[in-house]
Structure 1
Amino acid sequence: MNAQNTSSGCGGGSCQCAGQSPEAVASVNGIALHEPGLTPDAQELKERAHTELLRQHAVKAGLLPRFGGLVAPELDEHARQVIEEMIEAEVQTPTPTPEECQRYYEAHLNQFVVGQALHVRHILFAVTPGVNVHALSLRAEKALLELSRKEVAVGHFAQLAAELSNCPTGATGGDLGWVAPDECAPELANELFFQSDTRWGMGVHPRLVHTRFGLHIIEVLGRRKGRQLTFEEAQDRVVTRLQMQARTRALRQYMSLLVGQAQIEGLVLEGADSPLVQ
């Protein structure tokens, strides 16, 4: 059961702490996830919670010794290995059928092309801690509008790249050279190569591309189409991708079950954020 700690005092009528909101220490089944006074960020707190859930599950299974402390312990290499072996034994990943593989291949043909590459240049507006994302987006949209006009001057892209880009390539006009799908960020690869509804033409892309690094203005300068793999040639890749997807779903279901069986206070858990189950 997930429970949010809403205590606002000790409950005494004359207590001076009534009405105050001291920061609660998040816990899993009564075991604190950090020492009082520490404030882990939200992502770290979730990772600690999932790791502690797995540790306690391993204890219940008799795989790890019981722990007598009140604050979740750091796992040593042996404990991590035990938990990884426990997950491997308990989480079953189904093997995709030939029919499932065929359907996936036909629905994702553009993911099974070899030799394709694009010559691109970009302007990066980096999203860094403390940056005003709204203002950054407006700045990027303004630059994109300038570069999308029919009468834009030759060399204006390189000029803006030198002035605005947070990528070192700004010094050379933003030129990234020839890139293949596996040579760029997954979000960029998806936008450049794997869109099924529309394929990129030459020139400046009409919308900003969002990646983990920030916002990009992209211009395509050249294209190598590559060769479409047959199903037989791509079958091993298809099986691997479907197994990875099935594994991810199974791990999330596994962790969701552990979350549902636990008494969790001070945070809300939904999925599997622990590195031990990635």
Structure 2
Amino acid sequence: MNTAPSSSSGCGSGCGCGSAAAPADAAAAGTRSGPTATINGVALHLPGQRPAEDELRERAYAELLRQRAVAQGLLPAYAGSVAPELGEPERQILEQLVDADVRSPQPQEAECQRYHQAHAAQFTVGQALHVRHILFAVTPGTNVQALAVHAEKALLELTHADSPPGRFAQLATELSNCPTSTQGGDLGWIGPDDCAPELAQALFHTQQHQARVGVLPRLVHSRFGFHIVEVLERREGTQPTYAEVRERIARLLAMQSRARALHQYMALLAGEATLEHIALDAADSPLVQ
């Protein structure tokens, strides 16, 4: 079961960074050698064929659930030494197991109201920014510290009072790893749903930047790397009333509550298991929701 949220395929509506550069946290493709990871003595992969860490964790969580289902008599015992592949019938049983075991509280009215007060800007409708950026992409093998210093040096130049008007477009053409470099880094008009979540947070949901036009004073870190961002123009949106977004907030908080409960549940299963050559969040006692 993959609970990772979906995300934009690039930095913005006019950007192809999703295909142009590997995400900063992307695991290397394929398998690699390493010690055999096991859960309660059951191997998660064949010897010498250790998967990338993200895939290995997915296998580990699936195996923890499979062993839980076996203990409850929902799946037959398994005598193999390597975790079996799960078919659709087995996955449905694991889904039913989780639904039966995991309980998460529903958000109360006061909680929804507090969330709205703290995140009102998140629900603004019709807001858009005309943005350009310079992307310093982080790819496998990149010296991240050196790249950050390089990006900071360019940012310092662009935020200096004497920086000429055309310098941003010039540096974007010279330095940016985004396909928009040929347009001086121009992403065009974008809204919160048109860009990577990290950029949306910095541009639309951070209070100190909400009224700002110009070069942001700090680098924006995203899954693609480091961004120097300049807001050229701004279209103010309208904020709906609490009543208009109350159901949306309730669904959001319910999803967050469910995610916390699932994380706790898997941590408890991991805490009860014997893990070798794999690190998972583990807990030995239930946590208060």
> 1:146 is matched with which residue: 157, 162, 167?
157
The counterpart of 2:203, out of the listed 173, 180, 192, is 192
The answer to whether residue 145 in structure 2 is matched with residue 134 in structure 1 is: yes
Aligned to 1:71: 82
Q: Which stretches of structure 1, 4 residues or longer, exceed 6 Å deviation after superposition? A: none
Does structure 2 conserve the Cα–Cα contact (< 8 Å) formed by 1:26 and 1:267?
A: yes
Among residues 200, 204, 223, which one is paired with 1:212 in the alignment? Answer: 223
Mapped to 2, the partners of 1:200 and 1:255 lie a distance apart of 42
Give the equivalent residue in structure 1 for 2:28.
Answer: none
User: Match of 2:96?
Assistant: 85
Q: Aligned equivalents of 1:62 and 1:29: distance in 2? A: 18
* CA deviation vs aligned residue, 1:230-254 (integer Å, no higher than 9, x gap): 1101101110110111011100111
Q: Match of 1:82, as an amino acid?
A: I
State the match for 2:50 in structure 1: 39
Contact 1:120 1:221 in 2 (8 A): yes
Matched, 1:245 2:256: yes
Quick check: 2:202–2:209 contact (8 Å CA) kept in 1? Answer: no
Name the CA distance, whole Å, in 2 between partners of 1:35 and 1:171: 47
Identity %: 58
Structure 1 residues 125-171: Cα deviation after superposition (integer angstroms, max 9, x where no partner): 11000111111111111111111111211211111111111111110
Q: Which residue of 2 aligns with 1:233?
A: 244
Distance 1:219 1:131, change over 3 A: same
1:106: how far off? 0.9
The match for 1:8 is none
CA distance in 1, matches of 2:142, 2:119: 37
CA shift in 2, pair 1:235/1:179, >3 Å: same
Q: How many residues align?
A: 251
RMSD value over aligned CA atoms?
Answer: 1.7
Q: Compare CA radii of gyration and give the structure with the larger one.
A: 1
2:10 — aligned with what?
none
Which residue pairs with 1:175 in the alignment? 186
Rounded Cα–Cα distance in structure 2 between residues aligned with 1:115 and 1:271: 43
Q: Deviations over 1:215-267 (max 9, x none)?
A: 00000001111011111011011101101110111001110111111111222
Instruction: Return the alpha-carbon distance in structure 1 between the equivalents of residues 264 and 232 of structure 2.
Output: 44
Q: TM-score with structure 1 length normalisation?
A: 0.86
Give SS of 1:253's match. Answer: helix
Output the CA distance in 1 between the equivalents of 2:34 and 2:108: 51
Give the C-alpha shift of residue 80 in structure 1. 1.4
Where does residue 121 of structure 1 map in the other structure? Answer: 132
Structure 1 CA distance for aligned equivalents of residues 175 and 243 of structure 2: 46
